[in-house]
Chain A
């Protein structure tokens, strides 16, 4: 077991040991001697992994944490190196970041923005974390991203799908690898049109909070552009557990497709309820009734059991991808933990690697230098094909997977099958797209703290 826990504060102590009783004025605990917040002075660097460990997304958070631990192991030269071997950039040597051994601290976001910020602040103030990453919801991502901007550290978002994270709430210190609502809509619509025809009548059930709104907007815009008609869109409370009252009016409305803009527990329950009501056995307007789930999470889909069979949705990544990067990641994750990684695990692993690589290329941990290295950076070999980290909004642009619930799963992990890999051109949008906050959205300027 490794036996050091030398944080920035520890280093601060050794460097100033001569002047016992010395008072150092700081802003946000960044010593005036250092050029930016939490500049690593010793032989180690500390990353902050802020994931939900309690609450409904705890299992997703646990999977993210596994991926982070794997990434740290690989960065420090342990294990089989995973995607470091397939990554197009060869800067990372397996000797930590810039020669400093990578250490980490963990915290519990509880999927609440308050708790997430408290936990991130403790990592920055107490443990001297130089970068914060993680999260499993957009509310938390936006809140922590704003905090990191203020504190002058880099935020590498985990699972967050709302347009706002890199749309109207984008920040210069924040970066997102995960895809977003707009991309889901743009990728799904053509597949749905090809599969179900262009004269469908859709009925939306939408979770009544920001992510739900952006997802509904995106899916409606893209499907209506292809000829679909939106019959009705009803908002459902986040705290709802039984969706029967929202599902029963669907058949009377004349709609022949139900779009469930729900995630997590909401998605599991609304999908289960919809299938219970036998919607999929019905015929409306001479067509088979269909259900669509814009954002799939395999981990959560397990909760819906057999109900996901044949249902279309989109996902950021899936372990059955056959490119070299995905195969390498699934292998090292699977051998360490005994089951395949989730998309949340994938995006967090990739974010950690991308951060480390950007520091290496920039030659500095300074947030502004790292941001510059990430901006408009093109890379490959991390599981989604050639990818661009766009400078305008710090969003990754890459292929999006359209998936469908598998009819004959071979194992409990084998729930989704990939229907189409939508090429990146089809999901790219201008940075001032109205769904992304329009022309008002601005990154601001990067903040080094100190």
Chain B
């Protein structure tokens, strides 16, 4: 079905079910329990999960398949964002044209950058992409302020033209919508102590993510994908067989740039704001982290990695000392203070430290990322019985890196 083999179809269906049921899965704790702090099922974070999932899936098509490590992918996300916000300011608050234009612009920009950068490989390629991204960031922050809004970025204003929308009624603010259905409208479902939020924007982004995921599977399984893997394993041999690798890698580069543009456009659609720091090199580094953390070269890995990093950024960073005191209030005073002293450096404002440690741990012990971790655990559970049949399965799904 859909041109997929049974195993891939199963994976796609699992991801689809997870995406549809995300509001339930991410809100496992009742609202007034102390654990509600760990609930992630609110619209903004759910949107970020799938959007950065798209970004990482796209990055993985380049890095996971061809092995080219780009350190400037955030630039395409930024260009996509700016294209989308200008579309909203000039044409309409409907997100469809904005997203289409953001993919287009990011694709064009990545074509230029890719065409130049792919003349080199290895770390030279990484530095070239980094240089382009840093130039984009610096210029967007300063000289290009009239176009990019500089430090403050761009937001829709009441006074924008919005040719297709006509003037707003007095007192209304411009909101991103899809044919009148607003991105930030939600349904709350209350079941006992639980509350689940179903948000329009989230489902739009989730559909985009599923489509991106499907396309990624098709690319992974296509002759084109095989060619890209060949680039990674031995480019010289490809030349000897009379194949020029460049068109293939450039195509992969542009596709992953368009994925980044799609993510940028969706970010603007969900939260109408575009700023230059999206293009800073640490943002490019973040998508590398996501991909490796989840498992480069695997299909589902990048999505998992994106989820983990965004979860930490948004949930872990919000835990402050008071909340810790609430949690450990049942302990005797001395012990309570002692435990809080130990835990506190790693959460709240120390969340970067935890991120760094987890990241090192994964790179050291799980070179295949979270996916490899999952496989190891699964193998442990299945035990010896399934060992033989499992061994060839795992070689099949071993990450390409």
Contacts and interface: CB of A to CB of B under 8 A. Distances in A.
Interface of A: 1-3, 5-7, 9-10, 12-13, 16-17, 19-29, 31, 53-54, 58, 62, 65, 105-108, 112-115, 117-119, 121-122, 125-126, 137-139, 142-143, 146-147, 149-150, 162, 164, 169, 208-211, 213, 235, 237-239, 440, 442, 444-445, 447
Nearest to B315: A122
A12 B188 contact: yes
A113 B273 contact: yes
B234 interface: no
A28 B318 contact: no
Contacts of A139: 151-153, 275
B173 A447 contact: yes
B348 A211 contact: no
A153 to B, nearest CB: 13
A376 to B, nearest CB: 20
A7 B31 contact: yes
Given A29-B197, A108-B351, A210-B145, 5 more contacts: A5-B36, A23-B188, A24-B188, A28-B185, A107-B318
A238 B277 contact: no
Contacts of A19: 190
* Chain B interface, DSSP helix/strand/loop, else mixed: mixed
A169 B326 contact: no
Nearest to B168: A444
A210 B251 CA distance: 38
Contacts of B379: none
Contacts of B189: 21-24
Interface stretch (B17-25, B38-46, B57-65, B358-366): B38-46
* Chain A interface, DSSP helix/strand/loop, else mixed: mixed
A54 B187 contact: no
Interface string B344-360: 00001101100000000
A31 B190 CA distance: 12
B150 interface: yes
Interface string B10-41: 00000000000000000000111010110100
Given A23-B188, A26-B188, A146 B317 contact: no
A438 B383 CA distance: 73
Contact of A442 (B143, B152, B159): B159
A28 B191 contact: no
Shortest 6 CB-CB distances between A and B: which pairs? A53-B349, A208-B142, A121-B44, A209-B151, A139-B151, A126-B42
Contacts of A53: 317, 348-349
A124 B254 CA distance: 37
Contact of B273 (A1, A54, A107, A117): A117
B308 to A, nearest CB: 16
B190 A143 contact: no
Nearest to A165: B152
B8 interface: no
Contacts of B194: 13
Contact of A114 (B32, B195, B273): B273
B152 A164 contact: yes
A106 B321 CA distance: 10
Nearest to B328: A1
B141 A209 contact: yes
Given A23-B188, A149-B173, A169 B152 contact: yes
Given A54-B349, A146-B155, A27 B184 contact: yes
Contacts of B313: 115, 118
